[in-house]
Amino acid sequence: MLGLKFEITEKDLDFVVDTAVPQAQDKQKLKRYIKEDESFRRGIIGSPRVLERVMQSSEILLKISPRLLFEILLRGTRSELEKRTWVLERVGTQKIPVFGLDKIVALLGEEEILDYLANMLSSFTKIDTFTLVIRVRSGVWRKIRFNDMDIDSLIKFSEIIDEENRFAFYKRIADVCLFISGVFPEYMMFDYGLPGKNSTGSRITRRFRKSAEEYEIEGRKFYKLASAHEMAKAANLSEVLEKLSENFNLVKRSLDFLTQQYLSLTKYKFFNVENPSF
């Protein structure tokens, strides 16, 4: 996704209207308002009733799109953080208090940031696998398969492909760094030494063997690279990506809070990521 505006589906509209205004006489008019009036749309999607129904529905993704789900949770996160003076952030095996939440609230109050994060989170409900053919040496080519959670492979390929095709790689690398840091920090709690030759460790475990500091460094770096790319300008994402680079830790904390508050028991059901062995 290059940050295109979310087009709410008819199924999503039915869910939102039936939940937020169940007594409405003219639901078609309400749906039209949601489509045409951005302020009205934000208000009704951010309704406490909508969030409550999402949290009470065990199979919510059968009722609404992933994109709408994460917009609802992000709006709920912003509303909840507005009421608090501090929260607990997961750091390694501990939780530490974090104050000064006004900056996080302000970031989530920027609709372009919230839209981007909703798109990003929904992209992780399905992990894509790719095959690239690369030139090893003169006359010798090799086919390599990888998925778009494999940071090391994404970084390597971003260095060898043409500049015009690098934007998607830069953006995905940074998104993975933010996603793991905020939603799956448990992947950063292991012995980070690479497995030995006889190790039977799974590929997905090896891919996540990075420290929190490494994820932050790479995330900031690749959001910065993505923000400067011509494709970012074409998609009106330059400013958003620049802010994500500059505020990586603040955004990570917002996702950490969202996960603890709303997804602590269900995140492995929503995201196509393997549950690590402890």
Q: Is residue 208 part of a domain?
A: yes
CB atoms closer than 10 angstroms to residue 186: 15
Q: Which domain holds residue 196?
A: 129-270
Residues 110-131 have pLDDT tens digits of 999 999 999 999 999 988 777 7
Q: What is the pLDDT of residues 1-32, one digit of tens each?
A: 444 456 789 999 999 999 999 998 899 999 99
Q: Which two tokens stand for residue 106?
A: 């302000």
- CA dist 232 and 173 (Å) reads 15
Q: In this structure, is residue 228 part of a structural domain? A: yes
- Does residue 110 sit within a domain? no
Structure confidence at residue 3 (pLDDT)? 45
Per-residue model confidence as pLDDT tens digits over 65-75: 999 999 999 99
Residue 66 maps to a domain: no
Question: Is residue 55 in a domain?
Answer: no
Cα-Cα-Cα-Cα torsion 131, 132, 135, 139, nearest 10 degrees, comes to 60
Q: What domain count does the chain have? A: 1
Q: Specify the residue for token string 């969030």.
A: 51
Packing angle between helix 166-183 and helix 212-227, nearest 10 degrees?
Answer: 150
182 within 8 A of 252, measured Cβ to Cβ:
yes
pLDDT value at position 135? 65
Are 196 and 151 a contacting pair, CB within 8 Å? no
Is the pTM of the predicted complex or chain greater than 0.85? yes
In a domain, 243, yes or no: yes
Does residue 137 fall inside a structural domain? yes
Query: Is position 177 within any domain?
Result: yes
Q: Could you give the angle at which helices 212-227 and 238-246 cross, rounded to 10 degrees?
A: 160
